[in-house]
Amino acid sequence: MSNKPFAANSLYLLGFVVLFGLVPILKTTNYQMLLAAHVLVWGLFAVSFNMLFGVTGMLSFGQALYYGMGAYSVGLCVKYLGSAWFFPGMLLGLVLSILFSWLLGHLIIRVSGVFFTMLTLAFGQLGWQVMFKWYSFTGGDDGIQNIIPPGLFANKVAYYYLVLALVGVSIWFLGRLNSSPMGLILRCVRQNPERVRFLGRRVRRNQQRIYCISALFSALAGALMSGVDYSIHTDMFYWTTSGHVILMSILGGIGQFFGPLVGAAVIVTIEDVVGAFTEYWSLIIGSVMLVMVLGLPRGLMGEIAHLRVRFANRPAKLQTRLGEELK
């Protein structure tokens, strides 16, 4: 994970916001705007996931729990209390995600490595089963439809800009966090937790914090998604949703802050194209994942950054190679 000064990253972020801000202005169809909104929301979800995996080294397979929590807080509020409760529902989702992640974090951060991953998966599936089987309250696998944001935001373009603003601010915040002292500690936790402890920093407390922060932004992504699609489904809690966000991060590059965002854009596009002519979507996803893990573990952005370093420092090539070997 690069730790360049945040100013450089801010420039990328600005470009990103301007680019997506142009989408409704340029002659695009509603469908293209919907796709752009999907990229934004999945991008936020993927970047917040990557704060756990790429930065801290905690591979969570249960972020769908918080994503679904955000979506269902909005959906259930609108279903039972009316459209005006859209934004209070969103707030509720954020509060709930913090609460749950704080409680669950205490349980699952006790174990590390693959067992951490599997526990997050297990609790994620627990959430899915509850939502799936509590038919009388959640509507089970019928999902919830007609979640229309209130007032001004019932307009698709207005809602799109709201999504863009919230995603932009969130990613800016996460980027700040990433290059803050806390971000540095998190990267140390990934590389050498014992050393972090020697240096007088608490490993588990930092893991717990980033777990909660990641949950918070995952919930925000879920809540935003409910207003983009006007409908939600228990699949948002299902483990494949977590898998989806993992794939986006890997594809884009977990070592790059903006990698997952690029991954989200690529996956949403592929999904749109491939989904048109085959239902065997997970076969495609699985194969892409296989190739990425075996062949391009740095991800698209990571490989580009790697190539750039290699071509920029041709004379220093030997040094780079030495550095690689030392790693």
Partner 1 sequence: MDLSFFFVQLISGLTMATFLFLIASGLTLIFGVGKVFNFAHGSFFMLGAYVGYQMSSVWGQNFWLSLVAGGLFAGVLGMVAEFFFLRRIYGRADEGGFQILLTYSFILILDDLVKLVWGTEYKSLAKPESLRGALSFFGIVVPTYNVAVIGIGLFVVIAAWWLLNKTKAGRIARASALDREMLAVLGVNVPMTMTLVFGIATALSGMTGVLAAPLRSVTPGAGIEVIIDSLIVVVLGGLGNFWGAWLAALLIGEVNSFAIVFVPKWATLFSYLVMALTLVFKPEGLFAPRKVRRV
Positions touching partner 1 (CB under 8 A) are 53, 57, 59, 61, 107-108, 110-115, 117-119, 121-123, 125-126, 129-130, 133, 193-194, 203-204, 239, 243, 246, 250, 280-283, 285-287, 289-290, 293-294, 297, 327
| Residues ≥6 apart with Cβ < 8 Å to 106 | 208
Query: Minimum Å distance from CB 103 to partner 1?
Result: 10
Query: Minimum Å distance from CB 47 to partner 1?
Result: 18
Query: Minimum Å distance from CB 248 to partner 1?
Result: 12
Nearer to partner 1, 91 or 266 (CB): 266
Query: Minimum Å distance from CB 250 to partner 1?
Result: 7
Nearer to partner 1, 72 or 86 (CB): 72
Token digits for 13?
Answer: 């972020």
Token digits for 242?
Answer: 């977590």
Let me know how many helices (H) and strands (E) the chain has, helices first: 15, 0
Q: Contact, 222 vs 236, CB < 8 A?
A: yes
Token digits for 143?
Answer: 């999902």
Nearer to partner 1, 218 or 249 (CB): 249
Nearer to partner 1, 195 or 310 (CB): 195
Helix (H, G, I), strand (E, B) or coil at 211: helix
Please tell me the distance from the alpha carbon of residue 8 to that of residue 83, in angstroms, as a whole number: 41
Nearer to partner 1, 193 or 222 (CB): 193
Query: Minimum Å distance from CB 288 to partner 1?
Result: 8
Residue type, 137: F
Nearer to partner 1, 83 or 112 (CB): 112
| Residues ≥6 apart with Cβ < 8 Å to 51 | 174, 177, 178, 186, 210, 213, 214, 217
Nearer to partner 1, 59 or 215 (CB): 59
Please tell me the distance from the alpha carbon of residue 274 to that of residue 198, in angstroms, as a whole number: 50
Query: Minimum Å distance from CB 69 to partner 1?
Result: 17
Query: Minimum Å distance from CB 185 to partner 1?
Result: 14
* Plot region of 139 (φ>0 → left; ψ -120 to 50 → alpha; else → beta): left
Q: Contact, 159 vs 224, CB < 8 A?
A: no
Please tell me the distance from the alpha carbon of residue 309 to that of residue 304, in angstroms, as a whole number: 9
Please tell me the distance from the alpha carbon of residue 126 to that of residue 297, in angstroms, as a whole number: 31
